[in-house]
Structure 1
Amino acid sequence: MGCNTQAQKKAVKNSVGDLVGITHRSDFKQAPYNSWFDANYIAYTVDQKSISVLKDAFKDVQVKVFMGTWCGDSRRETPRFYKLLDAINFDEKNLEMITVNRSKKTPKNLEKNLNIIRVPTFIFYKKDPKTNEKKEIGRYVEYARESLEKDILKILSGKAYKHSYQN
């Protein structure tokens, strides 16, 4: 079962033009979002040395992303993340993309109890083999410490990792 267990409600454009709610890649392919999405997707070069290792590391991983279409960091990192997912043939049914307003909220409180302070926040989950419950294994927040690929690989491989706002 994928991350998309909540009712699939399409994100809506709020009064200032920001998408808010559960979003899909196709939303970013529409104007005005495609101007930054397409440019940043095309401009990013995935670290090819990391691809085979990441492909294995992403096995049985689910990802929940909180981003803002108004946020410069989200506009940079989200297309890069999609390009990385494409490079490893990640099944997007295991991805839940949630766009937030400038207060980092959604109408359905999808951010509730997840401590979303900065965006983008990519939360990685795996099922606990003992309890079979989905468990957070780490998060990538706003920008890389080393690189997108290397930071995510540390999270997925269980190595010590602190996102950009942890000491």
Structure 2
Amino acid sequence: MRKITTIVLSAFLFSATACASDNKPFTGEITGVKLVTNYDDFKAEHESYDVAEADVALIKNIDRPLDIHVLFGTWCHDSAREVPRYLKLLADAGNKNITTKLIGVDYKKTADEKYDLKYTPTFIVFSEGVEIGRIIERPKASIAQDLADIVNQ
């Protein structure tokens, strides 16, 4: 009887913990390190993703300052795939011209009106304070190629 009680209690605690984190998505700004450390899906993708050398070269070749705002949901499978890939790509490329602001949103995708957010993740690329392009949900080719295309248009 004691084993059954322990098993049932363990299952209950596990499911309660999972539900608690699922019901409270992270909102606001977060660092890439905290994101891939504190959210298992993001961490797993970050650890398993192999960045292509061609993609690293594309990002290294960006020679003007860019500010990229990434709006994502910790609850969103597309975000859990694309945001860690982006973070790993940037880390591997080491391009100091690119700064990133990571902004978590709730299930309703509540964000500052200036972003006009409809889907997550959305990567909004700014140059000199002006939006020059977006990657929405998933890149057309790769994150690196899509960013290079935005910069070179």
Question: TM above 0.5, one fold?
Answer: yes
Q: Tell me the TM-score normalized by structure 2.
A: 0.78
Query: Larger deviation: 16-25 or 87-96?
Result: 87-96
Equivalent position of 2:57 in the other structure: 52
Q: Aligned-pair distance for 1:50?
A: 3.0
Question: Which structure 1 segments of 5+ residues have no match?
Answer: 1-12, 128-133, 159-167
Equivalent position of 1:23 in the other structure: 30
Q: Aligned-pair distance for 1:28?
A: 1.6
Equivalent position of 1:137 in the other structure: 132
Q: Does the 8 Å CA contact 1:68/1:120 hold for their aligned counterparts?
A: yes
CA shift in 2, pair 1:45/1:14, >3 Å: closer
Greater percentage in helix: 2
Q: Aligned-pair distance for 1:64?
A: 0.6
C-alpha distance in structure 1 between counterparts of 2:55 and 2:35, whole Å: 26
Deviations 1:7-27 (A, max 9, x none): xxxxxx989221001111232
Q: Does the 8 Å CA contact 1:73/1:120 hold for their aligned counterparts?
A: yes
Percent sequence identity is: 27
Q: Does the 8 Å CA contact 1:14/1:20 hold for their aligned counterparts?
A: no
Q: Among 40, 48, 51, which residue is 1:43 paired with? A: 48
Q: Aligned-pair distance for 1:146?
A: 1.6
Q: Does the 8 Å CA contact 2:42/2:84 hold for their aligned counterparts?
A: yes
C-alpha distance in structure 2 between counterparts of 1:105 and 1:90, whole Å: 30
Deviations 1:26-54 (A, max 9, x none): 322444x1x21221012212221232232
Q: Does the 8 Å CA contact 1:58/1:156 hold for their aligned counterparts?
A: no
Q: Aligned-pair distance for 1:100?
A: 0.2
Equivalent position of 1:120 in the other structure: 121
Q: Tell me the TM-score normalized by structure 1.
A: 0.72
Q: Does 1:70 align with 2:75?
A: yes
C-alpha distance in structure 2 between counterparts of 1:44 and 1:15, whole Å: 24
Q: Matched residue of 2:114: which SS?
A: coil
Q: Matched residue of 2:131: which SS?
A: strand
C-alpha distance in structure 2 between counterparts of 1:52 and 1:64, whole Å: 21
Equivalent position of 2:92 in the other structure: 87
Q: Does the 8 Å CA contact 1:62/1:94 hold for their aligned counterparts?
A: yes
Q: Does the 8 Å CA contact 1:57/1:157 hold for their aligned counterparts?
A: no
Q: Which amino acid aligns with 1:121?
A: T
Displacement over 4 Å in runs of 4+: none
Q: Aligned-pair distance for 1:56?
A: 2.2
Q: Which has the larger radius of gyration?
A: 2
